[in-house]
Structure 1
Amino acid sequence: MRRRTAVAALALTFTAAFTTATATAAPATTAPAKAAPGGHSKATLLDKVPRRGVLRVCTTGDYRPFTYKDPKTGAYTGIDIDMAKHLAASLGVKADFVATTWTKLMDDFTAGKCDIGMGGISVTLARAQKAYFSEPYLVDGKAPIARCADKDKYDSLAKIDQAGVRVIVNPGGTNEKFAKANIRNATIITHPDNNTIFDEIVAGRADVMMTDGSETKYQAKLHPELCAINPDKPFTFAEKAYLLPRGDEEFQEYTDQWVHLTTRDGTYKGFAEPWQS
């Protein structure tokens, strides 16, 4: 009994001493979060754009109905041009359009020349390795456009990929990539100006072009000699979205919410209708 009592007393003494020491020790502190380079937390475009007063928008200006730059006046028009102005207005600023090309788009964007890329940009994994994409606003895919007299000759990839067929492409984008991945026997012609490329087909200097179905529909309206071939049953599945800086989740979430609302409340439809009539 004496041994058990002594052990119990010793345990009580140790517990009391530990409790006292803990109570009198300095309180532990949580290590502060590491600051971003420069000594401050990372900024988001959601804050920077309103302070700057301008939303910088990279766009090619050569892809109607989404983006077009008038060569005489320099003015931009298109569905995504109107959408860019709407997004800028939602942030209380104006849109400033930064000219780029399909070849230079990703380099210009990752170099920080603009805050967002807009103008019929297709979602690809290669681009997604370098930037974020917004919620998609349109489903699309590659489809042919040719002279109406030849539309039955080019309604499949097998018919297009024949010796003697001249497939025309614009450089640097998904059209060129698709053609090079699928054409083995036909001749690929690269034309640098996407605004005049369809005139090459009309003039007989090329036979067919494979581009997004949405563009074939619009260009067929501009050029009565040309027919969009099965644009609602394209060769591929693709989505169009807006290019956003990688790592800026706050700006991505805001843009996603804006896309979600504008594609459901009639805003996008209202901008698209003049280009569809």
Structure 2
Amino acid sequence: MHWKGRVAYLATLHRKEQVIGPLLAHHLGIQVQVIPLDTDQLGTFSRERPRPGDPIHTLRLKIERARQAHPASLVLASEGSFGPHPQIPWIPWNQEWVMLRVFEPGAEPLELVGYAESTQTNFSHRWVQSWAEALDFAQRAGFPQHALIALDRPEKPQVIHKGIQDEATLKQVVGELLARQGGLHLETDMRALYNPTRLQVIAAATQNLIAKAQSLCPACGTPGYWQIRSVSGLPCGQCGAPTPVAKAWVYGCARCSHTHTEPVAEPWADPAQCAFCNP
């Protein structure tokens, strides 16, 4: 098995190794050690710092900085994103990426990225004007197992209290901000060490990374032989016309040029996806 018995270094201060480490050890034989990198310098959920680019770009920056501190050959990083679901905008949506980059002498770095998404998230926020409203929000958010953040205002906040995990602290912070300005912005703390629900999605992204690492190119044996693009045109189950739904996936190697095309298991598309049956 590739990399069995080797150490991969994870750039984090947010205890993500608690879910990533056991999975990689069990399935790939990789031992995970932490490089204590302050990844908040590359963006925060509480908006003090914007993310410097898209998630993949940010993951590469995390790994680059980790290797500056510890020039290892296997380096990991994780990145998450929260917002409204693209098709159902009133439902919150969590996306997670876990990247492994492998640096071997004489070869270009090999990059594998695991991905998972879920609507099972407590991501939420509310403007509150009383202790009763604050407590109601906290209970709905899964407090105290899930921490909260209190801000004086949702945009460009000047006062930020993070990692609130007990009722006494919450009551004190809420009381101070209510006395000062009559209201405050509460939101869920989405950092992994304060959000066990998010950790489950990070675990799912790690499982996806493992599946890619275990999928070897039939031509050169490189890990990461995976879907690279879809081929649309699955026929409508009612009229048989081609639809935008994928009829096949093209698999490709992360290192050599080998590809193959594999049809999807479903023979027909839902007529709701057909431009003729559902114009």
Question: Which TM class, normalised by the smaller chain length?
Answer: under 0.3
**Structure whose alpha-carbon radius of gyration is higher:** 1
- The structure richer in strand per residue is 2
If asked which structure has higher relative contact order (CA below 8 Å, sep 6+), I would say 1
Tell me the TM-score normalised to structure 2 length: 0.21
Tell me the TM-score normalised to structure 1 length: 0.21
- The structure richer in helix per residue is 1
